[in-house]
Structure 1
């Protein structure tokens, strides 16, 4: 009598069928994830190109402050309509090697690591990316995005444009954004009329504009402003201001 062919356990058949169905789902999921990443990348590059000639209308921080306070003060001005000493003061305070790097200051990063991460190492280019395209706060996700996006901005924007955008979107006080709003609210003059002392004080409060006063500076702020005045003169003398000054 012929022996009956051995049957495969039904459990294995069901597992194999489920596995075959799962594979196309995973492939589709990966495909859609890749498309989403590519779409975001294309969208970001498109915005970078647009903002190389069009002024960013709003940022996440400006919108957040507007919701919190009910109003914000911001007036866009071209970098040519700002006091040259103000521009040099901000660069000296925030990123003295701005003209020498392509988005990241390796020396500043090394110094920050040696200091245990107690000091900032973000360049003006990185701060522009954070302010215009991302959000405030510390997180590895935001930092990773900032790191990957900064070189793109450096490729498509001139150094002068990067600095101009930064000086117009940076928070300069509670409800204040940009150097024009700060100049008018604190000194009653335009950004073009700021003196070396006023420029240095304004640059001195940028790391913490809500906690430091321009018109009633603390001893620390006064000392920092004095150092910034010297730094502004130094970067002009040694050529580190050439990329944004005619």
Structure 2
């Protein structure tokens, strides 16, 4: 090459297309992650708000009678009104608590919300009959809704140990007996005692208390004042069970 050779023209540098593609992708990824993070934050806030709401209700109803629940609201709308009247557990005959526990949850004083023995037996039989404790039923009645759904069962399972932690066994049984359905539109033992027998809850005989407990699993189709043969047999079994739990100490947690 001689000095007379003209200088070659420098071409502008062009970045490879593949690198340009990577650069543009890198701009999208942070925005995508930020969007996901915002979604997770809002979902967390919503779930946290729901948990805080129910926690506040649990603490409030530990000392204040629950005014009404979703099922009662629905029945009041359907029937045009319901019967209910709150009474403290001290205003109930002791036979009521013993009968309800003997009928629905004989190990009420021994578990922390779930009767694992009953659950194992129900699973082995392929049924959930008899596995739901009084604590679980109370949580469902007061805080949740009726009907079968995985969401309700999950919420019930999460809330029951919390209620057991902050409420006494006596309070759980007291609320349960005041919100349970004993007949169409009849809620709580005071309304049931007046409706079926014309007396207050404190004046029920052991047989009358056992009859009320006998209708609890199926209040729409059982009548405490006009018992069927099945309800009579069930009543006799409940009276015997109530005597047993009083004798062996399984009623001590709510009779202190």
What TM-score do the two structures reach when normalised by structure 1?
0.95
1:183 is aligned, of 185, 193, 200, to: 193
What residue in structure 2 maps to residue 48 of structure 1?
Answer: 58
In structure 1, what is the Cα distance between the partners aligned to 2:125 and 2:187? 30
Q: Alpha-carbon deviation of 1:7? A: 2.4
What residue in structure 1 maps to residue 202 of structure 2?
Answer: 192
User: What do the CA deviations read for 1:8-38 (whole angstroms, capped 9, x no partner)?
Assistant: 4877666554433221111011011111212
1:233 is aligned, of 243, 246, 249, to: 243
Question: 8 Å contact 2:113–2:136 — kept in the other structure?
Answer: yes
Q: Alpha-carbon deviation of 1:118? A: 5.3
User: What do the CA deviations read for 1:140-187 (whole angstroms, capped 9, x no partner)?
Assistant: 111011001001000110000000000001111100100111110111
Question: 8 Å contact 2:122–2:131 — kept in the other structure?
Answer: yes
Q: What is the correspondence of 1:131-210 to structure 2 with a 5 Å cutoff?
A: 131-210=141-220
Which stretch has the larger CA shift, 5-14 or 74-83? 5-14
In structure 2, what is the Cα distance between the partners aligned to 1:217 and 1:12? 80
5+ unaligned residues in a row in structure 1: which ranges? none
Q: Alpha-carbon deviation of 1:67? A: 1.0
1:72 aligns with 2:73: no
Report the RMSD for the aligned CA atoms in angstroms: 1.6
Aligned residues: 246
What TM-score do the two structures reach when normalised by structure 2?
0.91
What residue in structure 2 maps to residue 244 of structure 1?
Answer: 254
1:127 is aligned, of 134, 137, 157, to: 137
What residue in structure 2 maps to residue 33 of structure 1?
Answer: 43
What residue in structure 2 maps to residue 4 of structure 1?
Answer: 14
What residue in structure 1 maps to residue 115 of structure 2?
Answer: 105
In structure 1, what is the Cα distance between the partners aligned to 2:16 and 2:228? 89
SS in 2 for 1:99: coil
The 1:118–1:46 alpha-carbon spacing in structure 2 relative to 1, beyond 3 Å, is closer
What residue in structure 2 maps to residue 89 of structure 1?
Answer: 99
SS in 2 for 1:144: helix
SS in 2 for 1:27: helix
In structure 2, what is the Cα distance between the partners aligned to 1:234 and 1:12? 77
